[in-house]
């Protein structure tokens, strides 16, 4: 009987000694399973690519291109030049145009001989970023008109609407522009006092500096 009790006691002591080892092994297994699904953090931060910066607009842009003058009877072809100042929403433009007389089959044109126009205007760019630029301009200037019968000078007020397309170059500001300008006469010489106004149609290419 004593021998049997001694064996039972020895077995209980052995079982009690194995329990901490089993619990420790189970803890290690849980830790390993918990760490297994997760990746190690990177040694250094992953670089983030910033979006490319938009090319800066030029402060001065020179334009050159064909023009045409009309009072509704025909088109008098010619040449136009302009200088745009400013790189923001508001700007300033100096422009000049020299045109042949407007041909007409419905009666004499008041600009049937020739037209020269010199203007300055304030400009408003409605989209200073991106390739497309809707532009409005309001200004005034001087015109020299030859009707083919009489010639004279007069002051004019102008309003212009244009659409410009800027090529996406990083190191150059190159633009194509198309627009229409309306001119209303102001103080005029008596020889051209009956002139009611005209429109200029034009397309230019501009280069920035």
Convert 99-128 to b/e letters by CB count within 10 Å (16 or more is b).
bbbbebeeeebbbbbbbebebebebebeee
Q: For residue 48, what pLDDT is reported?
A: 62
Q: For residue 170, what pLDDT is reported?
A: 77
% of the chain exceeding 90 in pLDDT: 62
Range with top average pLDDT, 15-24, 29-38, 39-48, 171-180: 171-180
Q: Higher pLDDT residue, 53 or 141?
A: 141
Could you write out the DSSP letters of every residue in the chain? -HHHHHHHHHHHHHHHHHHHHHHHHHHHHHHHHHHTTSPPPPSSPPP-PPPPPPPPPPSEEEEEEEEEEESSS--EEEEEEEEEE-SSSEEEEEEEEEEEPPP-SSS--TTSSEEEEEEEEEEEES--SSSEEEEEEEEEEEEEEE-SS-EEEEEEEEEEEEEEEE---SS--EEEEEEEEEEEEEEE-GGGTT---EEEEEEEEEEE-
Q: For residue 37, what pLDDT is reported?
A: 57
Grade residue 155 by pLDDT with cuts at 50, 70 and 90.
Answer: very high
> Thinking of the domain 60-208, which architecture would CATH place it in?
Beta Barrel (2.40)
Range with top average pLDDT, 4-13, 42-51, 54-63, 154-163: 154-163
**pLDDT tens-place string over residues 84-118:** 999 889 999 999 999 999 998 888 899 999 999 99
Q: Is the pTM of this model over 0.85?
A: no
Q: Higher pLDDT residue, 15 or 139?
A: 139
Segments making up each domain of the chain, as ranges: 60-208
Q: Taking 70 as the threshold, does the pLDDT of residue 35 lie above it?
A: no
Q: For residue 39, what pLDDT is reported?
A: 59
Q: For residue 128, what pLDDT is reported?
A: 80
Average pLDDT for 24-37: 49
Q: For residue 33, what pLDDT is reported?
A: 47
């Amino acid at each position: 009987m004593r021998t049997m009790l001694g064996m039972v006691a020895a077995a209980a002591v052995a079982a009690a000694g194995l329990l901490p080892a089993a619990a420790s092994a189970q803890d290690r297994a849980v830790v390993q399973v918990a760490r297994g699904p997760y990746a190690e953090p990177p040694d250094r931060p992953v670089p983030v690519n910033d979006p490319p910066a938009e090319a800066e607009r030029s402060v001065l842009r020179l334009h050159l291109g064909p023009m045409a003058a009309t009072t509704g009877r025909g088109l008098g072809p010619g040449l136009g030049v302009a200088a745009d100042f400013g790189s923001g929403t508001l700007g300033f433009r100096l422009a000049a145009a020299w045109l042949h007389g407007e041909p007409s089959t419905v009666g004499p044109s008041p600009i049937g001989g020739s037209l020269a126009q010199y203007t300055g205007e304030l400009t408003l760019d409605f989209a200073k970023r991106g390739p497309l630029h809707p532009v409005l301009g309001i200004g005034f200037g001087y015109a020299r008109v030859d009707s083919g019968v009489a010639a004279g000078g007069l002051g004019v007020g102008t309003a212009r609407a244009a659409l410009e397309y800027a090529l996406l170059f990083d190191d150059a500001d190159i633009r194509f522009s198309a627009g229409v300008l309306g001119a209303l006469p102001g103080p005029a010489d008596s020889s051209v006092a009956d002139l009611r106004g005209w429109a200029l149609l034009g397309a230019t290419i501009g280069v920035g500096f």
